[in-house]
Structure 1
Amino acid sequence: MKFSFSYIFIFFLVSCFHFSSCAQQQKSTKKTVEKEQAQTIKTGADRTSLYLPLLKNKNIAIVANQTSILQVLQRAEVAPNIMGSKTVTHHLVDYLHNYEGIHVEKVFAPEHGFRGKADAGEAIADGKDVKTGIPIISLYGKNKKPSPEQLNGIDVVVFDIQDVGARFYTYISTLHYVMEICAELGIQVILLDRPNPNGHYIDGPVLEPEHKSFVGMHPVPVVYGMTIGEYGQMINGEKWLANGIKCDLTVIPLENYTHQSQYSLPIKPSPNLPNDTSINLYPSLCFFEGTNVSVGRGTNKQFQVYGSPYLEKTTFNFTPQPNEGAKQPKHNKKSCFGEDLSASESLVNLNLSWLLKAYQQSPKKEFFNAFFTKLAGTKKLQEQIEEGLSEEGIKASWQEGLESFKKVREQYLLYE
């Protein structure tokens, strides 16, 4: 009897210890899950509680592409006997289309189309979304600005597109025209903000007004260090819309974000920016688009290599071939010599050394084309390169414009 009582007592102690240990472990697991969720950057699209009430019982149009996704929390078991939450990915159009009381009437698609597969500069036809049957209207080509007829009956336009923070990336130009027509028609714009993967620095020549184009509409440097939400506020505040009109703009801000936050895009923003490295190199290498040098379109290392048949023969070369996003790549099926930058360190400023090096090696009369000035936003950069000015000398000439821009920028920042 005595032995039996001792055995039961020991079993009781062991069970209590085991129960306490499991409880502590479960508590720790729950805290870890909650901590990870608290530190995760939430996009404007993820913060549904801030904008769904603004869309209730409204007819809406959405400016979107393949990057317009959101994470919705759902209850899920994260450990034995512990209920937590898991995230489920939805496309914004699908999510809002299925949300009771919100009426999605139209989708407007920017350059590269709604699914983001078209070549740069390729004309995009209007159509219908196969999944939802919602009409899709292209905002690239002749129809860069929605017409009053296309917005007839629309109460709110939702804008949700991932930008990469370079002036010549045309999604900010699309934003300008959407804000402009909505200002003219008295339609509210709700912009769902997203991180800028190149938001950690500001660099490059400031665009001069006489060189305004769809690849550069505003007097900002090549890399402007702002999210698309902050940029929209600057368009409004600086009265860059036609006749100085203002758009009724609401920005749904990011959560847990600063301009120094590292952010890896979950979906490539366009066909020729396939990864973080290409996005980081894009502001520096895009100048080559206005020259006879290829940036790897037609390879699997777009904006991670550069080369041409005219450069000095090196051990590294590539041969562009037609592929998704590059049906007719520059120097198609020709061997191009240059450099592979795919393993280079992440940039914190513009790199002009590759451009200057390529210019020195190429036939001078054939190097630049008319597109270069549009990309640079000034004729001075080409002139400086042709005059043999050093990278340091060229960058020194940008500083006065950059300092002036930073003062303007400061007024519209939403994040540190």
Structure 2
Amino acid sequence: MNTRKLVQQLVVIAGVGIFYSLIFSCAPHYSPIFPGLDVLVKEKVDLIRGKRIGILSNRTAISSDGKHIVNVLTAIPEVTVTTLINLEYGKQTERTDSVKAQIDSTTGIATYILHCNSRKLPSEMLQNVDALIFDLQDIGVRFSNDLRVMILAMEATANKGIEFIVLDRPNPLTGAIVEGPVLQPEFKSPLGLLSIPIRHGMTMGELALYINGEELLPHGLKAKLTVVPAKNWRRMQWFDKTGLQWVEVPSHTPTLEATLLFPGLHLLEGTNITVGGKPDQVYNCIGASWIDKELLFKKLKSYHLYGVSFAPVLFTPPKIFQITQSLNSQTEQCQGLSIKVTDRNVFRSVSCAVYLLSSIHQLYPNKIQFTHKFDLLVGNDTVRRSLIANVKPRRIIASWERELNYFKSIRKKYLLYN
């Protein structure tokens, strides 16, 4: 190869390098994201110094470098952690709240167990506490156990005049997308205590501000609330773009995609349709023994839904999904559809569930069954009635847009992130 050709090739290579450098330099740059726990320790430790501190958390309460909140706070001089309330998951019959503390022989911390389905936070757990820190990674859905527990904790601390400090974390489903019907007051239950959409697009800290600001606690109570925001998080960011560690707990979905499917597919818990999948792929398929998978696939395909694809599938639900109290506790092989999100920015889980249920009802009107739990999860009985009446899915979805827009206008003043 002569010198002239070599120089020409080097110039081309250099030009390509410069081109890609310009492209990447124009890409948006985000600063490292820190959860509220990190911000508390680095910038706001005076909030807890010299006080008897209680912590309500689970194993998701970790710092950006993976350290659990108890280890982080007990390492700070002049910070006294007296109480740890561990949030437990599983069947209520297997575990009950423990109001008798286990005392750690090394740290002296009194440790209690609070079940996720508890109706209240026992006052005995707060007897040696000046400020209760709440730190849980929520999944951004109205019927989340963690949200209900936060409401109970706000009420309990308000009753005792104790400070309530929320260490905020990103909403894993972004804070920009809001969908689903707003819960109507007459359908409030342990499955939904707030009149908010199914996918609310708020963080726990923002929800705490919303609850306090709108005076939603019982008897007009208001918590002595402080929210420590996460740092550098933007509303459009999905959890897997934050650089933070995803920690699975038993009640949560194991992956971000499963969490994205959860707001809609969890509604099927109020029907006799089974939601299943492999243990590491919760909520990735639905079906029943009486469904013809090819017919259902053809029906769903005709809607040309955005951001999602379906495929006919045979599956047997793992035992973890065979919930004995539900109609959908099928142990035999099911026919149905596997569900894969292809574009999460346009996919809407609740809308997808409406299309699924409408299609199944049109094909099997005498087979599909709805329970009262369905109405409690949805937040009204209008959706169920409309499905039974074969109202077109797009009209059902349009029916909640007005109340959704009103909620968005109210929530604006409580948002902490751009």
TM-score after normalising by structure 1: 0.79
Corresponding position: 1:309 with 2:289: yes
Q: Which one of the candidate residues 40, 51, 69 is aligned to 1:92?
A: 69
Matches within 5 A, 1:88-237: 88-110=65-87, 112=89, 118=90, 123-126=95-98, 128=102, 134-141=110-117, 143-198=118-173, 199-237=175-213
Task: Give 1:121 deviation, angstroms.
Answer: 8.7
Task: Give 1:357 deviation, angstroms.
Answer: 2.1
Corresponding position: 1:242 with 2:244: no
The code of the aligned residue for 1:302 comes to: V
Partner of 2:315: 318
The code of the aligned residue for 1:52 comes to: V
The code of the aligned residue for 1:62 comes to: I
SS of the residue corresponding to residue 63 of structure 2 reads strand
Partner of 2:36: 44
SS of the residue corresponding to residue 184 of structure 1 reads helix
Tell which deviates more after alignment, 120-129 or 159-168: 120-129
The code of the aligned residue for 1:151 comes to: L
For structure 1, which runs of at least 5 residues remain unmatched after alignment?
A: 1-31, 72-87, 113-117
Contact kept? 1:321, 1:332, Cα under 8 Å? no
Matches within 5 A, 1:59-78: 59-71=52-64
Partner of 2:392: 390
Partner of 2:14: none
Contact kept? 2:182, 2:379, Cα under 8 Å? yes
SS of the residue corresponding to residue 181 of structure 2 reads coil
Partner of 2:343: 345
Corresponding position: 1:256 with 2:236: no
SS of the residue corresponding to residue 200 of structure 1 reads coil
Q: Cα gap change, 1:380/1:338 in structure 2, threshold over 3 Å: closer, same or farther? A: same
Contact kept? 1:63, 1:108, Cα under 8 Å? yes
Partner of 2:380: 378
**CA-to-partner distance for each residue in 1:55-87, whole Å, 9 max, x for gaps?**
12221111101211112xxxxxxxxxxxxxxxx
Q: 1 CA distance for matches of 2:103 and 2:374?
A: 36
Contact kept? 1:316, 1:337, Cα under 8 Å? yes
SS of the residue corresponding to residue 255 of structure 1 reads coil
CA RMSD in angstroms, aligned pairs only = 2.7
Tell which deviates more after alignment, 298-307 or 41-50: 298-307
Partner of 2:18: none
Contact kept? 1:41, 1:254, Cα under 8 Å? yes
Q: 2 CA distance for matches of 1:333 and 1:50?
A: 53
Contact kept? 1:299, 1:319, Cα under 8 Å? no
Q: 1 CA distance for matches of 2:82 and 2:186?
A: 38
Corresponding position: 1:296 with 2:276: yes
**CA-to-partner distance for each residue in 1:216-252, whole Å, 9 max, x for gaps?**
1111111111111111100000000112221111111
Task: Give 1:336 deviation, angstroms.
Answer: 1.3
Partner of 1:58: 51
Contact kept? 1:297, 1:320, Cα under 8 Å? yes
Q: 2 CA distance for matches of 1:168 and 1:129?
A: 33
Contact kept? 2:277, 2:315, Cα under 8 Å? no
The code of the aligned residue for 1:340 comes to: S
Q: Cα gap change, 1:357/1:66 in structure 2, threshold over 3 Å: closer, same or farther? A: farther
Q: 2 CA distance for matches of 1:122 and 1:302?
A: 22
Decide which structure has the larger Cα Rg and report it.
1
The code of the aligned residue for 1:291 comes to: T
Contact kept? 1:68, 1:91, Cα under 8 Å? yes
Q: Cα gap change, 1:407/1:276 in structure 2, threshold over 3 Å: closer, same or farther? A: same
Contact kept? 1:119, 1:271, Cα under 8 Å? no
Task: Give 1:166 deviation, angstroms.
Answer: 1.0
Partner of 1:285: 265
Contact kept? 2:53, 2:131, Cα under 8 Å? yes
SS of the residue corresponding to residue 179 of structure 2 reads coil
**CA-to-partner distance for each residue in 1:12-34, whole Å, 9 max, x for gaps?**
xxxxxxxxxxxxxxxxxxxx9xx
SS of the residue corresponding to residue 66 of structure 1 reads coil
Partner of 2:302: none
Q: 1 CA distance for matches of 2:86 and 2:399?
A: 38
Partner of 1:358: 360
Q: 2 CA distance for matches of 1:294 and 1:120?
A: 22
Contact kept? 2:270, 2:374, Cα under 8 Å? yes
Percent of residue pairs identical: 30
Contact kept? 2:133, 2:164, Cα under 8 Å? yes
Q: 2 CA distance for matches of 1:385 and 1:122?
A: 36
TM-score after normalising by structure 2: 0.78
Task: Give 1:262 deviation, angstroms.
Answer: 2.1
The code of the aligned residue for 1:220 comes to: I
Q: Cα gap change, 1:104/1:179 in structure 2, threshold over 3 Å: closer, same or farther? A: same
The code of the aligned residue for 1:248 comes to: K
Q: Cα gap change, 1:365/1:309 in structure 2, threshold over 3 Å: closer, same or farther? A: closer
Contact kept? 2:143, 2:192, Cα under 8 Å? yes
